[in-house]
Amino acid sequence: MKDNIVIIGGGIAGMEAAHQLLLLGYKPILVEKSDHLGGHVADWHKLFPDMSPAKDAVRDLEEKIKEANIFLETEVSFINRLKNGYNVMFTNGVNVICKAILLATGFNLFEASRKEEYGYGIYNQVMTNSDLERWFNTGDDKRINGKEIKKVGFVHCVGSRDVKAGNPQCSKVCCITAIKQAMEVKEFFPDAEVYCFYMDLRLFGKKYEDFYIKAQMESGVHFIRGRVSEVSENIEGKVIVKTEDTLSGKPAKVTLDLLVLMSGIVCNKQAVDTASLVQVKTDSDGFLKSKDNILNIIETDSKGVFLAGTATGPKTVPETVAEARAAALAIHNYLVTLK
């Protein structure tokens, strides 16, 4: 029964799937290209809606998969198709024969510098959502430390729902992330004015709406509906945001000490290359293509190759974890029918 199953990607999807496969009695082999498990979640500070530390969630999962084979700083160099499985060669020289492969390759954050008009990498006081989480975690960022933070702005949908940036899809989690981060910033700098520039708020998940109301009622975050057209910098190094307040129908100009760009979720280009080794194609949105987008998002057109997590599109943490479990079960069922 101890079949090998290769899981590509050591984020929460890969970890949770490994955990479930271990419980089912398989031998998951988890490869992760970076030097730590947990993927993007490991870089995050607190998770909505309960504001539980991301570190705890990752540590919890790590505990559960101790018995799995885990290769860090390892990538897939090639995959050969066998009669009833695959031969996977890793960059660390290990060669594995497995019955099934799970692609839990995750996503990339949109490179905010590609939206040049927002000035990321050009103006000093512009950062991304991920930079802000790093500051929450490490307390180290010269854009915040030693600066007087009186006014902070959040730009929603940076590289999401943006055809011109090549990503028409909604990243799903940034609305709530922005609200979460706005509230956290407000906690750090109670006197600061915090603005969220949004096109519309998509608060679909459990307790998301509560968060939104709390942000307005308790934290006093200002929500301005309108896309930011351009960002500039004044002589004092402050950033000036130009937008339109579409609710009042007037152009607005706000001078800020810090601007946070909510970089969206885009497909992981490297994952596309890896997936092509097992003939998994990309869907029209650039993410990996499932067999069916309604009833069978986990299986692919390639036999024995499965998908989990944000490899197929933007997802929240609970969705990703649920999908990882479903993937483990799908793999199990597949292996049973194979016998």
Considering only 2, 83, 142, 253, the residue that binds other proteins (CB under 8 A) is: 253
**Is residue 151 classed as helix, strand or coil in its secondary structure?**
strand
Per-residue string for binding with other proteins, 68-107, x by CB under 8 A? ----------------------------------------
Nearer of residues 123 and 154 to other proteins, judged by Cβ:
123
Q: Which of 198, 207, 138, 153 is nearest to 171 (CA)?
A: 198
116 contacts other proteins (rule: CB under 8 A): yes
242 contacts other proteins (rule: CB under 8 A): yes
Number of residues in contact with other proteins under rule CB under 8 A: 18
Q: At what angle do helices 174-188 and 208-217 cross, to 10 degrees?
A: 40
163 contacts other proteins (rule: CB under 8 A): yes
Tell me how far apart the alpha carbons of residues 327 and 315 are, in angstroms, rounded to a whole number.
15
155 close to 261: Cβ distance less than 8 angstroms: yes
Using the structure block, give the residue that is written with the tokens 């050009």. Answer: 122
- Helix H or strand E encompassing 78: strand 76-82
Nearer of residues 230 and 283 to other proteins, judged by Cβ:
230
273 contacts other proteins (rule: CB under 8 A): no
Residues forming a β-bridge with 101: 6, 305
Nearer of residues 235 and 294 to other proteins, judged by Cβ:
235
- Helix H or strand E encompassing 185: helix 174-188
Residue 122 CB, nearest approach to other proteins (Å)? 5
Stretch that binds other proteins, among 15-23, 79-87, 157-165, 274-282 (CB under 8 A): 157-165
Which residues 178-217 are close enough to bind other proteins by CB under 8 A? Answer: none
46 close to 53: Cβ distance less than 8 angstroms: yes
| Chain contacts with other proteins (rule: CB under 8 A) | 114, 116-117, 119, 122-123, 163-166, 230-234, 240, 242, 253
